[in-house]
Amino acid sequence: MKLGGLKNIKEDLNNCAIELYSNKRIIILDCRCVVDYSKDCIVLDLGELNLRISGKNLVADSFVFGQTDISGQIQSLEFI
């Protein structure tokens, strides 16, 4: 998927919200499912886009009612 700018990302994410707490914790609201999971990379389905979280010792602490709580040493976030 080719993105033309921030407007397209906003439209594709709809009601999704991302809260980042330094590089140790991230909370994603309105996540549909976990696509891929390892200690170095977690990929989440956010609707039209997926979010790849890369880092070290990543752990999905919870996945309840579309809210995903991930902790570890977060190095990068990438929409794919």
| Measured CA distances, 13 to 55, 58, 66, 78 (Å) | 23, 23, 14, 13
pLDDT for res 14: 59
pLDDT for res 65: 85
pLDDT for res 44: 94
Residue spans of the chain under pLDDT 70 = 1-15
Model pTM score: 0.80
pLDDT for res 3: 46
Question: Domains plus CATH for the chain?
Answer: 6-79 (2.60.40.2000)
pLDDT for res 17: 87
Task: Note whether 9 and 3 are within 8 A (CB).
Answer: yes
